[in-house]
Structure 1
Amino acid sequence: MTGNTALNQDFLLRTQSALAVQRKICAQPEETVEHVLGDILAVSRDTGFGREHGLARVRSRQEWQHAVPIRSYNELAPYVDRQLSGERRVLTSDDPYAFLRTSGSTGRAKLVPTTDHWRRAYRGPALYAQWGLYFEQIGTEQLTGDEVLDLSWEPGPPRHRLHGFPVYSITERPVSDDPEDWNPPWRSESWFTRDPEASSMTGLLYAKLLRLADHDLRLIVSVNPSKIVLLAETLKENGERLVRDLHDGRGIDAAGDPALAGRLAEAFDRAGGEPLLTDLWPGLSLLVCWNSASAALYRPWLSRLAPGVATLPFSTTGTEGIVTLPMDDHPSAGPLAVDQGHFEFVPWQDLDDGSPLPADSPTLGYDELEPGTDYRLVMSQANGLYRYDVGDVYRVVGAVGAVPRLEFLGRAGFQSSFTGEKLTESDVHTAVIQILGSEPAGHPHFSGIPVWGTPPHYLVAIEWADPYDRLDVQDTARRIDATLQEVNVEYADKRRSGRLRPLQILPLEPGAFHTIAERRFRQGTAGAQIKHHWLQKDSAFLDILRELGLVRACPTGM
Structure 2
Amino acid sequence: MDAETSVLSQQLEQTDRGRAERQQANSSVVSDSFLSRARTALERQRAVCREPGDLPERVFKDILGQAEGTYFGKKHDLARVRGLSDWKKAVPIRCYPALRPYIDKLLDGDSNVLTRSEPYALLKTSGSSGKPKLIPTTRHWRNAYRGRALYAQWGLYFEHIGFDRARDTAVLDLSWERSTSSQSEGGYPSYSISQRPAAVSSTDWVPSWYEESWFQGVEGEDYKSGLYRKLRLLAGSDVRIIVALNPSKIVGLAEQLAERGEDLISDIRNGTLAGRATHVDRDRDLAARLDRSRQANGGTLRLRDLWPNLSLVVSWNSASAALYRPWLEEVTPGIPKLPFSATGTEGIVTIPVDEHISAGPLAIDLGLYEFAPVGQREEGTDLEPDAETLDYRDVEVGGTYNIVMSQANGLYRYDLGDRYTVVDRVGGVPRLEFAGRTGFGSSFTGEKLTEEDVYNAVRLSLGEHWRGRPLFSLVPVWATPPGYTLAIEWPQDCPLSAPEFAAAVERQLQQLNIEYAEKRRTDRLTPITVLPLRPGAFGVVEERRRLEGASPAQLKHHWIQRNGDLLRYLGTDTQR
TM bucket by the smaller chain? over 0.9
Specify the alignment match of 2:49 in structure 1: 26
Does the 8 Å contact 1:316/1:324 carry over to 2?
Answer: yes
Specify the alignment match of 2:171 in structure 1: 148
1:347 to 351, 373, 378: 373
Does the 8 Å contact 2:319/2:436 carry over to 1?
Answer: yes
Q: Call closer, same or farther: CA 1:4–1:521 in 2, change over 3 Å.
A: closer
- Would you say 1:549 and 2:573 are equivalent positions? yes
Specify the alignment match of 2:6 in structure 1: none
- Would you say 1:484 and 2:509 are equivalent positions? yes
1:219 to 224, 227, 241: 241
CA distance in 2, matches of 1:440, 1:68: 50
Shift of 1:350: 9.4
Shift of 1:540: 2.6
Specify the alignment match of 1:357 in structure 2: 383
CA distance in 1, matches of 2:424, 2:181: 41
Identical-pair percentage: 51
Q: RMSD of the alignment, in Å? A: 2.1
CA distance in 2, matches of 1:278, 1:451: 43
Specify the alignment match of 1:232 in structure 2: 254
CA distance in 2, matches of 1:381, 1:177: 18
C-alpha distance after superposition, 1:212-236 (max 9, x if no partner) = 1112211100011111111111111
Specify the alignment match of 1:136 in structure 2: 159
Q: Call closer, same or farther: CA 1:5–1:424 in 2, change over 3 Å.
A: closer
Specify the alignment match of 1:165 in structure 2: 188
Specify the alignment match of 2:8 in structure 1: none
- Would you say 1:247 and 2:272 are equivalent positions? no
Deviates more, 1:228-237 or 1:495-504: 495-504
Shift of 1:542: 1.5
Specify the alignment match of 2:421 in structure 1: 395
C-alpha distance after superposition, 1:519-538 (max 9, x if no partner) = 22222222243200011112
CA distance in 2, matches of 1:332, 1:225: 12
Shift of 1:5: 11
C-alpha distance after superposition, 1:252-281 (max 9, x if no partner) = 413321110000011111221122222222
1:123 to 146, 149, 164: 146
Specify the alignment match of 2:528 in structure 1: 503
Q: Call closer, same or farther: CA 1:21–1:317 in 2, change over 3 Å.
A: same
Specify the alignment match of 1:555 in structure 2: none
Specify the alignment match of 2:480 in structure 1: 454
Shift of 1:197: 4.8
The total of aligned residue pairs comes to: 549
- Unaligned runs of 5+ residues in structure 2 are 1-21
Specify the alignment match of 1:556 in structure 2: none
Specify the alignment match of 1:319 in structure 2: 345
Does the 8 Å contact 1:379/1:385 carry over to 2?
Answer: yes
Specify the alignment match of 2:9 in structure 1: none
C-alpha distance after superposition, 1:54-95 (max 9, x if no partner) = 111212111110111111111111111112222121111111
1:41 to 58, 64, 88: 64
C-alpha distance after superposition, 1:308-355 (max 9, x if no partner) = 111111111110110111111111111111111101111113972232
Does the 8 Å contact 1:5/1:144 carry over to 2?
Answer: no
Specify the alignment match of 2:406 in structure 1: 380
Does the 8 Å contact 1:372/1:397 carry over to 2?
Answer: yes
CA distance in 2, matches of 1:526, 1:112: 15
Q: Normalising to structure 2: TM-score of the pair?
A: 0.91
Specify the alignment match of 1:526 in structure 2: 551
CA distance in 1, matches of 2:435, 2:483: 25
Specify the alignment match of 1:433 in structure 2: 459
1:282 to 300, 308, 314: 308
For 2:390, give the aligned amino acid. L
- Unaligned runs of 5+ residues in structure 1 are 553-558
Q: Secondary structure at the match of 2:163?
A: coil
Does the 8 Å contact 1:222/1:528 carry over to 2?
Answer: no
C-alpha distance after superposition, 1:142-183 (max 9, x if no partner) = 544642100011112432112221111100001225111001
Does the 8 Å contact 1:223/1:290 carry over to 2?
Answer: yes
CA distance in 2, matches of 1:390, 1:232: 33
Q: Secondary structure at the match of 2:266?
A: helix
Specify the alignment match of 2:565 in structure 1: 540
Deviates more, 1:33-42 or 1:268-277: 268-277
